[in-house]
Structure 1
Amino acid sequence: MKKTLIATVVASFGAMPAAAADITMKFGHVGAPGSLFEATVNHYAACVGEKSGGKVEVQTFGSSQLGTDKELLQKLKLGQVDFALPSSVMSSVDGIFGVFEMPYIIKDRDHMRRVQDAMMDKFQGAANANGYHILGLAENGFRHITNNTRPINQPEDLKGIKLRTPNGEWRVKMFQQYGANPTPMAFSDVFTALQTGVIDGQENPYAQIASAKFQEVQKYLSITGHVYTPAYILGSKKHIEAQPADVRAVLSDCAAETQTFTYEKAAELETELLDVIKTAGVEVNEADKDAFITASKPIYESFAGEVEGGQELIDAVLALGNSS
């Protein structure tokens, strides 16, 4: 039924003569040029323009031009921005999103798809209750640690290291548990903070590391894969609901198409960008993931105790990881 509606919508848009866009929307994000975020947002914008026959134009603004993740969440509610692409910061919107901050809880993208298919109503409900609407999921990716102090093989190697984290309480708690000195900071400030020694290191997927050129100011990359974070193609609930039905259908359809594009692009970048980082002279090591998993148990216990329904969330996500 949905596919039929979308096909009808696209056909009706396609019958319109080429003209200036009737609706212009702004999509802000923190990704640097060449990042997975930039590729994701640009793909979404192009899809919306094409499927609406030019009726809807999505203008994209990267590199935190329209604000940090926290600022963009506020601007969505104020109607100053139409879309944002938050990731870890969503755990500050509602505790339920913190389940994706649990170390090693998501195995791979197929696992993430199963979680999305089975549990999206829960996440959408939490977003709606806070004034947001999730049009679809993209990704930030599997995160790894870079720093200027030493290679990180086990959690104890993080002791005393000043490590930038996103603004999400569970990432901070996780790295405190590992022995690091986590420092929440806007992504746009990280390069300078690394360059000047205000912080020793940071943790991000390869796509964010390479596009932000952290390899130019970091000595070590430790492949930990400690967290997989989805990114959310997010709008204001009030604003999305105010759009005509045909526009809402296109916005949702393009979000689904963009997720497929993003997953394929992310898989390509994981290989390409690791080579870019190595070529810059960064020393790379494979961390002892079993040691990190063992050290992560208290984080799961805290989440289960502090977030309503936390243990059930954890159990549901883990069970979907065991699906064939």
Structure 2
Amino acid sequence: MKTIKTLLAATALAGVAGAASAQEMTMKFGHVGAPGSLFEASVNHFAECVNGAMPDKVQVQTFGSSQLGNDKEMLQKLKLGQMDFSLPSSIMSSVDDSFGIFEMPYIITSRDHMRRVQDEMMDTFQQAANDNGYHIVGLAENGFRHITNNVRPINVPSDLEGVKLRTPNGVWRLRMFQEYGANPTPMAFSDVFTALQTGVIDGQENPYAQIASAKFQEVQEYLSITGHVYTPAYILASKSKFDGLPDDVKAGLTDCANQTQDFTYEKAAELETELLKEIEDAGVEVNTADKAAFIEASKPVYDAFAAEVDGAQEMIDTVLGLGDSG
């Protein structure tokens, strides 16, 4: 009889332990960033924050370097429930037109400006994400983008004439570089190094953190500091999956996303100085482009966005009004 009671007690304890372990969710976070990238640092910070804050409830696992697919594939996997978070950036303009506002050249002038835009307009972007089946847990960044290539230094837009330039998949980035005279080619980030190395493309445009971590300085001769676009990154989840989480888990994830944004902005500012030197030290010739000439050449892109996207002119006016000189 004592043996039976012992067995029953052990079974009950095993059941309790099983229920406890069942409560811990393993959540997969995929991104395209290479080791040493700002994306990797941001995602790791988020994971460490969540795992530390909710050790018995959530375990976030990270998968960089496009291990779970390129940005487009990961957006699909979020909806299919095959992963839990991704960190898209420019590709969000292909999810909903409203994210195209961040594709407008030189519209965001600083991280403080971006915070003001976020405070004023986050409901607009969250609604756009929700309408397409996603939830923005928080914002990080990709950063201020610059041009590298193997043809010539880029000082003014006409220097881009005929340059085969990789861009992310987004209609407005294509339109912008077509307007500047380049030959833009959308391509997954994971394919860019080989395409540069083999001459399939002449150049690409990215923040220093992506350029350096992906080793583009090994296969590029020129870096032109254009700062033509600032791209936020989005800690993104499936709306249905996020909505189904317990309230305390949702709150914990959101809090860690907010902490990660603070970390990301600080880290990004540090990297801008460190990584420019790293790229220069690799033998890349660096020049500062004529920003005024690029701004002048960008007007048709704004006009097209305002004409083709409902509410775009109001968004443009709002963002510009929140600018550092606004």
Q: TM-score, normalised by structure 2?
A: 0.93
In structure 2, which of residues 121, 124, 132 is the aligned counterpart of residue 122 of structure 1? Answer: 124
Q: Which residue of 2 aligns with 1:92?
A: 94
Q: Deviations over 1:138-182 (max 9, x none)?
A: 000000000000000000000000000000110000000000000
| 1:294 and 2:296 are equivalent in the alignment | yes
Q: Which residue of 1 aligns with 2:235?
A: 233
CA contact (8 A) 1:21 1:57 kept: no
Q: Which residue of 2 aligns with 1:321?
A: 323
In structure 2, which of residues 53, 65, 68 is the aligned counterpart of residue 66 of structure 1? Answer: 68
Q: Give the fraction of aligned pairs with identical amino acids, expressed as a percent.
A: 77
CA contact (8 A) 1:154 1:292 kept: yes
Residue aligned with 1:40, SS: helix
Q: Which residue of 1 aligns with 2:163?
A: 161
Alpha-carbon deviation of 1:41? 0.2
Alpha-carbon deviation of 1:21? 7.2
Q: Deviations over 1:101-144 (max 9, x none)?
A: 00000010000000000100000000000000000000000000
Q: Which has the larger radius of gyration?
A: 2
Q: Deviations over 1:162-220 (max 9, x none)?
A: 00000011000000000000000000000000000000000000000000000000000
Query: What RMSD, in angstroms, separates the aligned Cα atoms of the two structures?
Result: 1.2
Residue aligned with 1:41, SS: helix
Q: Which residue of 2 aligns with 1:172?
A: 174
In structure 1, which of residues 243, 246, 251 is the aligned counterpart of residue 245 of structure 2? Answer: 243
Q: Which has the higher mean CA deviation after the structures are superposed, 20-29 or 193-202?
A: 20-29
Aligned residues: 307
Q: TM-score, normalised by structure 1?
A: 0.93
Partners of 1:20 and 1:40 in 2: how far apart? 28
Q: Which residue of 2 aligns with 1:14?
A: none
The letter of the residue matching 1:41 is V
Q: Which residue of 2 aligns with 1:206?
A: 208
Q: Which residue of 1 aligns with 2:13?
A: none
Q: Deviations over 1:17-58 (max 9, x none)?
A: x97971100000000000000000000000000111342110
Q: Deviations over 1:42-85 (max 9, x none)?
A: 00000000111342110000000000000010000000010000
Q: Deviations over 1:222-249 (max 9, x none)?
A: 0000000000000000000111011000
Residue aligned with 2:29, SS: strand
In structure 2, which of residues 131, 140, 143 is the aligned counterpart of residue 141 of structure 1? Answer: 143
Partners of 1:259 and 1:70 in 2: how far apart? 23
CA contact (8 A) 2:109 2:324 kept: no
The letter of the residue matching 1:209 is I
Partners of 1:34 and 1:167 in 2: how far apart? 23
Partners of 2:302 and 2:207 in 1: how far apart? 22
Q: Which runs of 5+ in 1 are unaligned?
A: 1-17
Q: Which runs of 5+ in 2 are unaligned?
A: 1-19
Q: Deviations over 1:282-324 (max 9, x none)?
A: 0000000000000000000000001110100100000011467
Q: Which residue of 2 aligns with 1:82?
A: 84
Following TM superposition, where does structure 1 have runs of at least 4 consecutive aligned residues deviating by more than 6 angstroms?
18-21
CA contact (8 A) 1:24 1:57 kept: yes
